[in-house]
Amino acid sequence: MSAASHRVLSGLFQKNLNFTPTAADITRFERDLAVVSPSLMRDALIELSQGKSQRPAGAGQWRDAIYAIYNRKVAEHAQLFPVFHCFETAFRSRVAVTLEDHYQIPQWWAPAAKALSSGATANAVTRIGVVDPLQGERRRAIHLMVSEMTQWKLDVMSFADGYELLERSTLNQVKRLLSSHWPLFRNFFVNPAGQPLMQSVVEEKFDRVHAARNSVYHHLSFAGMTDVYLTAEELLDYIGFKLAPVHRAIEGASCTEPPYF
């Protein structure tokens, strides 16, 4: 048994389980741990040992019982992929459209890219499109995004507009643009009673969805799937995207089956 497998298995058996695995169980678990998510596997083991799911009838059947839980957790993650897809694409597009409307040029990051290529700081950018003077917080957010993407070896000036640029951005960069340009977005975030949401509230909700998205994309367990869905649905509704019917349409779409089905 490898040192890594021995360490992880010892931790799982000693801390999370209340049964003694057979030698065959240990051999199978060792092979499994080389190819599965240890986070999801650990939570599956804990759920089974605590009696939250049906326990196997006898020795040697633990692996099947554990994988039934593990696979259910993977399926639960898969249910959230359409949510995160909708959330990311909608916010990227909303920011792209809003900033182009505000600056009235498709490549609103061009002055920052020009300043960066000449070795100038963000302070060198005082005007974007029709906007002069340019607020410092917005200038820094755009300059930082261009700098980060340039470090990733992306030619930011090869993108024709904000749609193309933000397709290659991170959600952190999208949030930074939204936050720094908050006066342009605040009118979207008004609840049904006509009360505007505070910027900090929107940012906290955005971060909640973002954190869950990162957990799912890295195959980590997290609590509160329902809360994440409802939070994403709420934020998307504010910017004009109805998640529920789109999610249902995605789930019900007819796709070519994988070759192993």
Closest by alpha carbon to 83, among 255, 188, 235? 235
Domain map (residue ranges) of the chain: 3-73, 75-252
Under 8 Å between Cβ of 145 and 173: yes
For residues 198 and 125, give the distance between their C-alpha atoms in angstroms, rounded to a whole number: 29
What is the secondary structure of the chain as a DSSP string?
--HHHHHHHHHIIIII-SS---HHHHHHHHHHTTTS-HHHHHHHHHHHHTTSSPPPSSTT-HHHHHHHHHHHHHHHHHHHHHHHHHHHHHHHHHHHHHHHHHH-SS-TTHHHHHHHHTT--GGG---BTTB-SPPHHHHHHHHHHHHHHHHTT--GGG--SHHHHHHTS-HHHHHHHHHHTHHHHGGG-B-TTSPBPPHHHHHHHHHHHHHHHHHHHTT---S-HHHHHHHHHHHHHHTT--HHHHHHHHHH---PPPTT-
For residues 2 and 208, give the distance between their C-alpha atoms in angstroms, rounded to a whole number: 37
Report phi then psi at 132, rounded to 5: -155, 120
- The predicted model scores a pTM of 0.87
In this structure, what is the dihedral angle of CA atoms 148, 165, 126, 151, given to the nearest 10 degrees? 20
Report phi then psi at 128, rounded to 5: -130, 120
For residues 255 and 74, give the distance between their C-alpha atoms in angstroms, rounded to a whole number: 20
How confident is the prediction along the chain (261 residues), in pLDDT tens digits per residue? 565 655 666 556 666 565 566 667 667 777 777 788 888 888 887 887 776 556 555 555 677 888 888 999 999 999 999 999 999 999 999 999 999 999 999 999 999 999 999 999 888 999 999 998 888 999 999 999 999 999 999 999 999 999 999 999 999 999 999 999 999 999 999 999 999 999 999 999 999 999 999 999 999 988 899 999 999 999 999 999 999 999 999 999 998 888 887
Q: What residue type is 56 in one-letter code?
A: P
